[in-house]
Every structure is written in C-alpha cells, then in structure tokens.
C-alpha cells in the first residue's frame, strides 16, 4: 500500500503541487524574478517535472489565471444561490468578492503581477479581461436581482456599479499592500458610501 497511485493520479498530484508552489513563489518573488527552478524546487521537483506539465512559463500564468478566477466565480455563484444574505444589501456580493482580497495578500500580489504582465502581453490581457468581465457580469446580475427583490431601481446600470465595486476593491488591495496602516474597514466604508449615494440619487432627480 505504499504506492497506490496510478501514473495519471501521480502526475495530477505533481501538477497541482507545482501550481500551489507557483502561487506561493510567484506571489513572493514576482512573475519574472521567480524562476522555474524556484517553483519546482519549492514543490520538491526539478525542471523536468515542470515541462512535463506545462508548455512554458507563460502557459503556467494562463493556467493559474484560470484556476483563480474559477475559484472566485464559484464563490460568487455560491453566494448567489445561497439564501442567508438574501435580505442584506446588495453590497454583500461585492463585500464577499473582496473578502477574497482582504486578508489574502497572496492573491493581491498575484493580481498585481498578473495585471502588469497583462499590460504587456495582449493575449494574456484578453484572457484576463474575459474572466474579469465574466465575474463582473455575475456580480452585476446578483446586484440587479437583489435590487429588484427590494424594489429598488438603481439610477445607474448594475454593470457600472459592478465595475465601480471592482475598481474600489482593487484600489483597496493596492492600498493594503503598500500601507500597513490601512483601516480594516476601508472597503466596507467605501461600499457603504457608494450605496448610500445610490439611494440618495434615486430620490433626487438626475
């Protein structure tokens, strides 16, 4: 019972170990300063294992992008179907979305790295954008559904609201990376203000 794994299982295990190490090491050192050897040795392998599982470093980035966004999308969908927060303000969705960011320094760093990589690699940028759009679309949909339930008519489009929430989250993530004095509830306060503003705008005419 020492070696119970088929070859496929073994390789899958290796691959996911590499991905896990990649997340850690790339977040720590940055996309370009972390070498393949850094990543594989962190996982207890060598270069050979890497190239048996990924075509290139660039492909690794893509795979990681996929994994991270899939996780977050799943989290959002879980929230969408969950009943618990239903009566809460729609901001909840955005809040939850960035609970992923807050306290998750690793993902913040990776997000930064991926972003700057994306600005220089158009293929990667398109993939990044596509996934961001999907996530944002989900959140917009949730918001709009919740708003309808409460009988609230947003003065601006849910898509735009979602975009604002994303931008705020990313900005706060940056703030937290740079500054150890960032107020704990910065993002929450911002959401509150924005949604207070939305409520106010509805009352007042355009």
Partner DNA sequence: CGGCTTGCATACTGACCAGTATCCGGATAC
Partner DNA sequence: GTATCCGGATACTGGTCAGTATGCAAGCCG
Other Cβ atoms within 10 Å of 1 Cβ, number: 3
Yes or no: say if 108 and 173 are a contact pair by the CB < 8 Å rule. Answer: yes
Q: Residue 120 binds which one of a copy of itself, DNA, none, with CB within 5 to 8 A depending on kind?
A: a copy of itself
Q: Residue 168 binds which one of DNA, a copy of itself, none, with CB within 5 to 8 A depending on kind?
A: a copy of itself
CA-angle at 163, arms to 161 and 166, nearest 5°: 115
Task: Determine if 33 is a binding residue for DNA (CB under 7 A).
Answer: yes
Alpha carbon 176 to its chain centroid, in Å, reads 16
Task: Determine if 32 is a binding residue for a copy of itself (CB under 8 A).
Answer: yes
Q: Which is nearer to DNA, 40 or 98 (CB)?
A: 40
Instruction: Give CA separation, 173 vs 13, 23, 52, 96, 104, in Å.
Output: 32, 17, 35, 14, 9
Binding to DNA (CB under 7 A) within 57-116 occurs at: 57-58
What is the smallest separation between the CB atom of 70 and a copy of itself, expressed in angstroms? 18
The DSSP code for 83 is: S
Interface contacts to a copy of itself, rule CB under 8 A: 28-30, 32-33, 109, 112-113, 115-116, 118-120, 125, 128-129, 132-133, 156, 160, 163-164, 166-172, 174-175, 177-179, 182-183, 186, 189-190, 192-201, 204
């Amino acid at each position: 019972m020492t070696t119970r794994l088929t070859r496929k299982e073994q390789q899958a295990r290796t691959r996911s170990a590499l991905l896990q190490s990649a997340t850690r090491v790339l977040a720590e050192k940055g996309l370009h300063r972390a070498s393949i050897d850094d990543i594989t040795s962190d996982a207890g392998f060598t270069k050979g294992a890497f190239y048996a599982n990924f075509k290139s470093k660039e492909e690794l980035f893509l795979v990681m992008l996929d994994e991270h966004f899939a996780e977050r999308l799943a989290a959002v969908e879980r929230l969408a179907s969950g009943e618990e927060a239903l009566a809460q303000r729609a901001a909840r969705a955005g809040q939850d979305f960035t609970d992923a960011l807050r306290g998750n320094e690793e993902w913040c760093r990776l997000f930064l790295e991926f972003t700057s990589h994306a600005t220089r690699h158009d293929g990667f940028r398109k993939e990044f954008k596509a996934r961001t759009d999907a996530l944002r679309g989900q959140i917009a949909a949730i918001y709009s559904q919740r708003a309808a339930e409460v009988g609230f008519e947003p003065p601006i489009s849910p898509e735009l609201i979602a975009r604002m929430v994303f931008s705020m989250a990313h900005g706060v993530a940056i703030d937290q990376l740079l500054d150890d004095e960032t107020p704990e509830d910065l993002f929450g306060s911002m959401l509150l203000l924005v949604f207070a503003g939305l409520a106010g705008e509805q009352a007042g005419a355009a």
